[in-house]
Every structure is written in C-alpha cells, then in structure tokens.
Chains A and B, each alone.
Chain A
Amino acid sequence: MKVSELVKELNLVVFSGGEGLCHEITGGYVSDLLSDVMGNACEGEVWVTLQTHRNVVAIASLKELACVLLVSSLVPEQNTMDHSNEEGIPVLGTSLSTFEIAGLLYEKIKKAG
C-alpha cells in the first residue's frame, strides 16, 4: 500500500512532503521517544507520534520511513513542514488518538500485506 492510499482510506490530512506520497508502506511504528524510533523502527514504516518538531522529519528521513503521522489534531511546526518538503517525507495528521489510529492502521496494513 502507498502512503497516498492510506491518506484516502483513513481520511488523513497532508501537511507537507507531498513528494513522498508514493512511498510504499511496509508496517507501522508507534513511539514518542526519538531514540526508540532511531534504534528500532524499520524502513518503510508509518511513524505514529505526538512529537511535532523538526527532528521528527530528520529521523524519518535518516531511517527512510514512509511518513510521519501526527495524532490528536496536532499540527507540525513550520520548520518541520519546511524540512518535510525538502526531504520528501510526508507529514500527515489525524484527529484520532494514538490508540484509535494505531488500531485502524494495523487493520489496513495487515489487510494490504
């Protein structure tokens, strides 16, 4: 499944990084600890988090994650969006909580895989 399909199916907001909507999704990772993501997330995963600062994109790019998904109607900072556009890593958003979106995401990815 591509990031663009996930956006449509889960009705997500695309804040920035539209160039990366073609990224293929391999799985998901849920964490707000950056070193945890750095150490344990895998290439192609959707990263669900409530962190909105620029370093989130830096990490997503270094780890070649598919996209970042912000929960609970959180909005990325301007420099986060700028960096996301530079790196081509989509920053997405949902009004749902981490628990709810993780459940939906799990179902979609399991079905697609």
Chain B
Amino acid sequence: MIALRFIIVGGDFDRAGTASSETKKILKQLNIDPKVVKRTVVALYEGEVNIAAHAFRGVVNISVSDHQIQAILEDEGPGIDDISRAMLEGFSTASPKVREMGFGAGMGLPNMKKNADELLVESIPGEGTTVKMIFEF
C-alpha cells in the first residue's frame, strides 16, 4: 500500500495541479492501467481546483492498494449548502476572478462523478467539505 499526502492552500492557483501531477507520476511508476490513471488525474485535478477556488486550506490523501486508488480531499472552508445542487452541471458559486481564469463553469463535481467509480461528498456549511473518491482497477 502506498500513501501520499498533499497540502492545498485556498486561492493558490499557481500550485493547483501539483497533487494530481505527482500522483500521476507515482501511478505510472506502479504500472496502473493508463485509463485508470487518466480518470484518477482528471477527478483529482477538479478536486484540487475546488479547494483552491472555494476553501481556506485543504489536505489531499491518496492511497493505492492492490485493486483501487482512494482519494480523500478534506478542506476547511465555507462548505456546501446544497450538495445535490452543487452536483448539477453548470451550477457554480465561483467568484468572477476564478471564472475569468476559465474555472468555475460548474463542471468540476460532474467531472469527478463521471471519472470516479465512487464519489462521496460530505459537508458541514461554515466548516468544510470532505470528498472521497474510489477508482477501481
């Protein structure tokens, strides 16, 4: 079992993608099916960007076992008031600045759902959000 841990700082878009990029390198070294690597990386990147765009700070924990990759993204931030609404394609609460960069199109969580075999989103408004994703191989 391999475990990786990354810290994400809210508002830091320059480093968004670091966790996905590092994870991709490790998964490739482990010779995991490239299709699974691609799905994992797409979903993980969206999760990273969500923390950068919405939260104050967050932690990404990745673990790789014989048959699955598990990603847990925990943040401290405003949380999500209505998760089912946040899952809808096109729904976004991103700031104008974030949207100008091409983020915040309301496609992040839907992309995560499409690419993960399991997606669980839990949130306490005013405290933070935890996203758990599983990728089977």
Contact = CB atoms under 8 A, between A and B. Distances in A.
Contacts of B101: 34, 51, 53, 55
B108 to A, nearest CB: 6
Interface in A62-79: 62-63, 79
B113 to A, nearest CB: 11
A62 B20 contact: yes
Interface in A56-110: 58-59, 61-63, 79
B21 A34 contact: no
B45 interface: yes
Contacts of A36: 105, 107
A79 B60 CA distance: 24
Give the interface size class of chain B. Answer: 20 to 34
Contacts, number: 59
Contacts of B46: 35, 38
Interface string A15-52: 00000000000000000111110110000000001010
Contact of A59 (B14, B17, B107, B108): B17
A62 B107 contact: no
B49 to A, nearest CB: 8
A38 B107 CA distance: 10
Top 6 A-B pairs ranked by shortest CB distance? A58-B17, A35-B107, A34-B102, A39-B111, A33-B105, A51-B102
11 contacts: A32-B102, A35-B103, A38-B45, A38-B46, A49-B102, A51-B102, A53-B13, A55-B103, A58-B16, A58-B17, A63-B42
Given A33-B102, A36-B105, A53-B101, 17 more contacts: A33-B105, A34-B49, A34-B105, A35-B46, A35-B103, A38-B45, A38-B46, A39-B110, A51-B102, A53-B13, A55-B13, A55-B17, A58-B17, A59-B45, A61-B21, A62-B41, A79-B14
Interface of B: 13-14, 16-17, 20-21, 24, 38, 41-42, 45-46, 49, 101-103, 105, 107-108, 110-111, 114
